[in-house]
Amino acid sequence: MDDQEGKHLQITLSSKDDRYSVGDSPFSIPSKVTCSELNTLVNELISAGNEDHSPIEFDFLLVDELLRSSLEESLTERGLSSEATLDIVYFPKHPAPESEGQIVLNDWISSVDCFGSYILSGSYNNQAYIWNRGSGQCLGSVEHLSSVKSVAWIRHSSSENPLFITGAADEALSMWQFFPEDGVCRCLHTYSGHGRSVDCLAMDNVGSRFCSGSWDRTVRVWSAVPDQLADTAHVANGGAKRKKTSSASDAQSDAVDKQALVTLTGHSEAVSSLAWLDSASIASASWDHCIKLWDLESASLTATLAGNNVFNSISYSTASRLIVSGNSDRSVRLWDPRSDTALVQKMLRFHTGWVSCVQWSPDNEHQLVSGSFDKTVCQWDIRSPKAPLYSMTGHTDKVMCVSWSERDLVVSGGADAQLRLYKT
């Protein structure tokens, strides 16, 4: 690297991947060096020890934050000393998401969840649909009496005939079983208790329970395990004659009704989003500007994280142990539910409209996605709070839901009646 006038810094370069190791000797480099120049330096050093190395693009981490400016600017911004040797960690840059196309519906898409090769979506046209990821073909559907506001797969070890939950604006909450061989969706259970629209669902990690949140300001916890009564009712009502599109009236006639295991009250406005923290505790977000943490064994409130505006969506990472929230002030916030102070740990700012949906990566403690009324979906690394890794475009109206439940696929839905698929 050519010498430049000005101050120089002492750095060490390290990688956790032995294929890209360049040793641990310190280097003296100009303070105005940027990521691009560091990238050139690292590739040259690797090539010097490995003639077969093909240059790749790296990201660089300085004190737990990705470099997005020159070293000199980064040190100034963070108040770090330029006298000490700087330890810089590098790793291959996360590749940009690739569009896998879109699925076009005829009404707003309120919710989406993915499971293997299946995509489940809820729509304002009163229906929930199951789609094939590869072909975009509709494999089956179910119908409510009003807009389907929330959907969720029940993730059991056996997915031969997978189960899913739908919640709707007509107060209905139902469990369905999908039979891929003939496209049949059979209603096993209805769940009675909510008095208004069921807007959010969250499954526990083992698929034995789920929780629901409603405009009636309550959170309810239910069993996600179908019981023998459902099988008996199915046989008695001639289940083999089910239609491919299952209606709300079908559900009422065939399904066995179940009651809530736990009912939680305390929010003063609609419950907008839910997340399981572990097997015994959940978090609920609301339009009352609060995230509440609940202990399910005692059915009690354990903490309240207070915000200054509406919470539209939350997601919890078991890896980072942080809650991410999408807010009406256009920001994405990170919260530590273990903290007694309930302070925001970090803010991610880029969106220019309400952040309507957020979800952590299923296998990366640093990454998450967010969708916004500004028509974009952003992929974030929380170590780069000032800008997302990538901004995914394509929606022509506000983004209303996003799913990153499968590690290699992000799916978003919006008011443009499109499901957009991105390979990550």
Task: Please give the Cα distance from 274 to 285 (Å, whole number).
Answer: 6
All domains in the chain, ordered by first residue: 8-92 (3.10.20.90), 98-423 (2.130.10.10)
Predicted model pTM: 0.91
- What φ, ψ does residue 2 adopt, rounded to 5°? -65, 145
Give 83's DSSP letter: S
Q: What mean pLDDT is predicted for residues 214-237? A: 75
* Residue 71 pLDDT grade (very low, low, confident, very high; cuts 50, 70, 90): very high
Q: What per-residue confidence (pLDDT) applies to 246?
A: 58
User: Are 171 and 181 in contact, with CB atoms under 8 Å apart?
Assistant: no
pLDDT digits (tens, 9 = 90+) for 144-170: 999 999 999 998 756 689 999 999 999
Name the maximum alpha-carbon separation found in the chain: 86
pLDDT digits (tens, 9 = 90+) for 311-361: 999 999 999 999 999 999 999 999 999 887 767 899 999 999 999 999 999
Is 80 exceeded by the pLDDT of residue 103? yes
Q: 219 pairs with which residues across the strands?
A: 213, 264
Q: What per-residue confidence (pLDDT) applies to 253?
A: 63
Q: What mean pLDDT is predicted for residues 87-106? A: 95
Amino acid letter, 33: V
Q: What mean pLDDT is predicted for residues 354-381? A: 97
- Dihedral over alpha carbons 65, 71, 74, 76 (to 10 degrees): 150
Q: Which of 47-51, 60-64, 169-173, 230-234 has the lowest mean pLDDT?
A: 230-234
Distance of CA 382 to the CA centre of its chain: 14
Q: What mean pLDDT is predicted for residues 241-261? A: 68
User: Are 189 and 202 in contact, with CB atoms under 8 Å apart?
Assistant: no
Q: What per-residue confidence (pLDDT) applies to 184?
A: 96
